[in-house]
Structure 1
Amino acid sequence: MRKLWLYWWIANIFWAVIFSVGTAFVWLRDIDGAGVTQTPEAKLIAFSLLLIVFIFPVILQVVWLIVNIVIISKNKNNRHHA
């Protein structure tokens, strides 16, 4: 059971680091790969796209959290009935 929670936390830390690095990259660059100067509006659009992309991992993590909680509650119920 603890392994499931450990893996869940490791995955959350991984996604948080990736999101933080991506956010810093978007906000701190002055010129993008195409040589276009980044205005605050362009940075906001890029950040919005980054948020949209990270919605999928967030949904997966929430589902994984619910599964962990359900498994733990079933294991507690099984121990009380045994």
Structure 2
Amino acid sequence: LLNVLKALFIETGSRQKVMNALEALRTGQGYPYFEELALIAAEFYTMDKRMEDSIYFYNEMVCAQRQIQRGDFLYEV
């Protein structure tokens, strides 16, 4: 989790670095975290006026929500 925040706020905020940090959360138990962190990334890029990156992470958030709905993954973190 901290790797994602570090990639966003401390390092350059490149989309690839953030996605690399998020990749470990693409598991059944990690999807709720993935969803929340993708939203944080999308909001970060929106504030930074990087709309293409923002839209990318909003889409990733929606994909995580779909995975949560398909499975029996809990939203409780």
Same fold (TM over 0.5): no
| Between structures 1 and 2, the one with greater helix share | 1
How high is the TM-score relative to the length of structure 2? 0.38
How high is the TM-score relative to the length of structure 1? 0.36
Q: Which of the two has higher C-alpha Rg?
A: 1
| RCO comparison, higher one (Cα < 8 Å, 6+) | 1
